[in-house]
Amino acid sequence: MESKTGWAGNVKRQRHIGDFTEWKQHDAYQSAFDRLLRDLKAG
C-alpha cells in the first residue's frame, strides 16, 4: 500500500483497492464495503 513506483504504484494510482484490514471494526468495515458496492454498481 506504500508503493509509489513500478507496476504496483501504477495500479494504486489507477484503481481503488479496498482496505478491509480493519474488518473487525464495524464502522471501518461498513465504510469499505459500502464503497465496494458503490464502485461495483458504477462499473
Q: What is the pLDDT of residue 30?
A: 95
Cell of 13: 494510482
Cell of 19: 482496505
Over the stretch 1-38, which tens digit does the pLDDT of each residue have?
566 667 877 776 777 778 899 999 999 999 999 988 99
Rounded to two decimals, what is the model's pTM?
Answer: 0.60
Contact by Cβ (8 Å): 23, 17:
no
